[in-house]
Amino acid sequence: MATDKAYKILALQQGISNKKAKELIDRGLVYVEDKKVKIARADIHTETFFRVEYPADIEILYEDEDILAINKPAQVDSYDIQDTCEGAILLHRLDRDTSGVLLLGKNEAFVDRAIKEFKARRVEKYYIAWIEGVLYEKIEINEPIFTVKKGKAFSLIDPIRGKKAHTIVKPEELQGKKSKVHIEITTGRTHQIRVHLAHIGHPIVGDEQYGSRTQAKRVLLHSSKIKILDYEFNAKEPKEISKYK
């Protein structure tokens, strides 16, 4: 049976350029049945049928002259959203695989005010996630986090070089050997929730980078609510989290 590079077969099937096909695979949007295609240059059978899952449309939760609140789809980069919202500046970031409330400021004076709130830890940030294993009771994690930013960012617990990080996790629902949890963070380190949960032996479902062994279309982490200044924004759970089985 003939084989070829995955991106070339995808390009032919979709009628797109090789470059575009490679980009779709690199962004994690291409599947064969329920398995994500991870290596664009992998040799596979030319008869293989690919499925491309484009991210959901970007939903505006709220907008006024100062702030823009977006319900970010998973598999979209926070900076790509900033690029599509002309004149707006990211006030924080969500990981590419994380969905939910993402805030942008619309003028310099408000951006300065909002960033001061983040730095002073006066912003309330709540998340929902499915995690590996059974969590029966509330747990607080206070392990310092150090981030290595060469290539793909990677964070780890490091008592010497790490910066203070604080995460509160509360169980909400059990499904077999998985738990749905509510999370509140008072700090905003890179990959904080993912690293802290992996550290206590409960990596987020689908988070292969930090030890999840369960295949999922994405890391099952969602930014559900943010309170800043006099604002409160809520983003409904996407179906892959609300209907997870």
Ordered domains of the chain (ranges, CATH): 3-52 (3.10.290.10), 59-242 (3.30.2350.10)
Pairwise CA distance, residues 120 & 128, whole Å: 23
With 80 as the cut, is the pLDDT of residue 4 above it? yes
pLDDT tens-digit profile of 147-202? 998 878 899 999 999 999 999 999 999 988 999 999 999 999 999 999 999 999 99
User: What is residue 59's three-state secondary structure?
Assistant: strand
Is 198 exposed, middle or buried (CB count within 10 Å of its CB: 0-12, 13-18, 19+)? Answer: buried
pLDDT, mean over the chain: 91
Question: Which range (3-12, 50-59, 145-154, 213-222) has the least confidence?
Answer: 50-59
Which tops the pLDDT comparison, 168 or 32?
168
- Over residues 45-63, the mean pLDDT reads 83
What pLDDT does residue 147 have?
95
β-pairing, 99-105 vs 221-228, is parallel
- Over residues 26-33, the mean pLDDT reads 82
The model's confidence at residue 80, banded by pLDDT at 50, 70 and 90, is: confident
What pLDDT does residue 53 have?
77
What pLDDT does residue 56 have?
66
* Cα 81 off chain centre by: 14
Which tops the pLDDT comparison, 149 or 139?
139
What pLDDT does residue 85 have?
80
φ/ψ of residue 116, rounded to 5: -60, -40
26, 95, 158, 207: which one is catalytic? Answer: 95
* Whether residue 4 lies in the annotated active site: no
φ/ψ of residue 139, rounded to 5: -140, 140
Contact 187, 159 (CB under 8 A): no
pLDDT tens-digit profile of 220-232? 999 999 999 999 9
**Largest distance between two CA atoms of the chain:** 63
With 70 as the cut, is the pLDDT of residue 35 above it? yes
Pairwise CA distance, residues 63 & 102, whole Å: 12
Q: 69-105 burial by CB neighbour count: b if 16+ within 10 A, else e?
A: bbbbbbbbebeebbeebeebbbbbbbbbbbbbbbbbb
> Which residues, other chains included, contact 87 with Cβ-Cβ below 8 Å and sequence gap of 6+?
106
